Structure 1
């Protein structure tokens, strides 16, 4: 369609009629290029790899600080598609008294220990 319009200097109406396309299909904005999308995905993976404890919200904030104007829902969608996730919080083991053989204190009544 664009080739006909530029090369043969045909009007948009005529070029659309010759190709059998509706004119509205030529007026839609061009979607974000795949190159930009790949750059964003690469940057999200890089941040997730470098900062393992960060979730998608912190990555979204860092992208904004770096100058990316990206919607938080888009970051969430890419995060999910890439299979990224935060590690589960570490559980701390209960500390035991030193000496090994000593018993732990037991409560004898409510609010004792």
Structure 2
């Protein structure tokens, strides 16, 4: 009957638009708040916090919403080696041959074959 009136196939009339779920909108808002307050946290910690707050959400659902919102944990910073400011801890530099040695073996064995 719809086809005769409108001139469209009935399969085009079955798709009802995407209904925005109010609970999902609240969950998305809460995820954005968590990501803004706890910058170093990722998806797992956000999920744990939601569960502690009483949200009954599936991990996969939180993961999907986290990805759709474009939230991500910042990449870890590479730490520089700490050196004292006064320069007191200088590495030993060789002043002559055989002055500075380094132990660089994992295990050793005697000529007889027994390990030491």
TM-score interval, smaller chain:
0.5 to 0.7
Question: What is the rounded CA distance, in whole Å, between the counterparts of 1:85 and 1:52 in structure 2?
Answer: 9
Moved over 2 A (4+): 95-111
What is the count of residue pairs matched by the alignment? 84
Q: How many angstroms apart in 1 are the aligned matches of 2:88 and 2:57? A: 59
Quote the residue 1:83 is aligned against. Answer: 70
- Determine which structure has more spread, i.e. the larger CA radius of gyration: 2
Greater shift, 99-108 or 62-71, is seen at: 99-108
SS at match of 1:77: helix
Q: Tell which deviates more after alignment, 100-109 or 40-49.
A: 100-109
Which residue of 48, 51, 54 corresponds with 1:61?
48
Give yes or no for contact 1:97–1:104 (8 Å, CA) kept in 2.
no
* Displacement of 1:35: 1.2
Structure 2 unmatched ranges of 5 or more: 1-9, 94-99, 105-116
Shift of 1:100: 4.9
Distance 2:28 2:89 in 1: 55
Q: What SS is found at the alignment partner of 1:91?
A: coil
User: CA separation of 1:110/1:58 partners in 2, compared to 1, >3 Å: closer, same or farther?
Assistant: same
Aligned equivalent of 1:11: none
**Equivalent residues of 1:64, 1:70 under 8 A apart:** yes
Counterpart for residue 110 of structure 1: 103
Residue in structure 2 matching 1:38, options 25, 28, 38: 25
CA RMSD of aligned residues (A): 2.9
Where does 1:1-80 land on structure 2 (aligned, <5 Å)? Answer: 34-80=21-67
Normalising to structure 1: TM-score of the pair? 0.60
